[in-house]
Chains A and B, each alone.
Chain A
Amino acid sequence: EKWAATHAKHPPTRLALHHFDATYSVQLGKLWPSVRVAMLSERKYGALLNNFCHDAVLVDLQAKGCRDFITNREEDGQCVFPVFTVNHYLSCHPNIKCLVFPRGDVTRFKPARPDAYGLLSYYLMDAASVLPCLALDVQEGHNVLDLCAAPGGKTLSLLQSQTISKWFLCVNDTSVSRTMRLRKVLHSYVPKQFLTDEKLRITSFDVQVLVDVPCTTDRHSLMEDDNNIFNKIRVGERRRLPQLQLELLLAGIEAACPGGEILYSTCTLSQNQNQGVVEQAICLARENHGIQLEAVSLRPLTQMFRNTFHFAPDLHLGEMVIPHLAANFGPIYMCKLKRLT
């Protein structure tokens, strides 16, 4: 009686779990139990340092045992890729710092506090969400389009590189409430002079495009019944996700100019929403728009950060951070495409 009473009939979180059990046990095989228990347990955060903040919190956080996973990466000696590729990725983002507690450590971060100017010292996010930003490889003079930007964790990461004065960032999102959140985030972290129309605007010749699409947000779907896409009344919306993702990615591909690069990312493990969408996009871009695309390997990036994240082995397209209790980040899928024509 005591136990039966607490079971609601079909809460969306339960539906999500059934769905994942059916699909991911096939897709991930033996890895699934470990991923499952990790997703059903408390996730880990990373603290993205805000370089615009005047308080020096880095030392404090380091004293508590955190480390910046971007600079403290796998020893180059162990890295199977030539040093220049590694440096290439990081030279573009000399200032992005994301602190995490070591493997197996479950300490939590305190909420960030504002400095004298009202800017917050760090932004808490899934540390794996920084990877798509690093993978995007923004360089001087680039225009960047952030196609699905709200609430703005990735926008904020991109802004930290401080090559900001040399490139344009264009952010976009269809959801009004989420765009408000994005605005709020940017104003809590970035000084006003960087938020002028000149720096942040819509342009039509973007070079680098980040397409961080809406997805089944696996972790959220397993843990929160509110606003859950597995709710029965949202079946249609959920079924249409891959189509929406495909359209967004194609829009991103069209917005990039030849030579430009597109980074597609999600926070789901679903093959249909990940590799499936990318494959179709490559195909449709060629057939309908005559655009040739090439997948860019992200292996050097996963090699660099394999001591912080667990990556899914052997994906034929893109890379994926899979949750693990000792490094409970992700899921984050990312795939980079280069526009050849």
Chain B
Amino acid sequence: MLDVKNLKVRVEDKEILRGITLSVKAGEVHAIMGPNGSGKSTFARALAGHPGYEVTEGSVTYKGQDLLEMDPDERAREGVFMAFQYPVEIPGVNNAYFLKAALNAKRKHQGLEELDAMDFMALVKEKAKILDIDEKMLLRSVNEGFSGGEKKRNEIFHMAVLEPALAVLDETDSGLDIDALRIVSQGVNAMRSPDRAFIVVTHYQRLLNYIVPDYVHVLSDGCLVRSGGRELALELEEKGYGWLEAAPRLGSGQAVVGARK
């Protein structure tokens, strides 16, 4: 589904990603871990097409198309979704209205009929139930006045409604208490399917107790330094990231295929 080859990304003249190669197939869950400043979030944002993140080299192929050629909104309509680390507030725009516009933009792109308000509300209420989202949250302005936990849950809720083919979760676990973490993880797990892939960016292994990944990759200083199965995350928890700093890097261009779990 996604083929990333030697991806180099710059933010304001500073090279953050220095050649990432990664292949994600439908149905897989990949975790990207790494210490602060290693480039995890940069990777997520580059995939979503954030204008502040300039790709200087490499390629990203998504479902056979050149992802880097697409504008962020096109990527989204093609089924790429990023759950934000810091979801943005949009005052005065109600959450349900926002989501309806987003969903219908996607449906239109897919040649499907746009949902009317009735059908949309029915769909949304069903999804809200799964994520234990208070219906009042639908009527509030997008993220405005939401607590940190509510914002993250709202991101997963958007994902549930938009049903992406590739979901990138950017540190969705940060700022969540255990209960919220469980609810969010349940939401993600409920969406796991053979034709959907996830890239879960996280600093902590904690999230991976709930969302069990097929592969774990470790980013350090803009390069993938280690890939493995789920046990790699546990090892990291035990030994910390320092342990990997000394390890030899995986060269760019080298295919990274972790062991099956």
Asked if chains A and B come from one complex, the reply is no
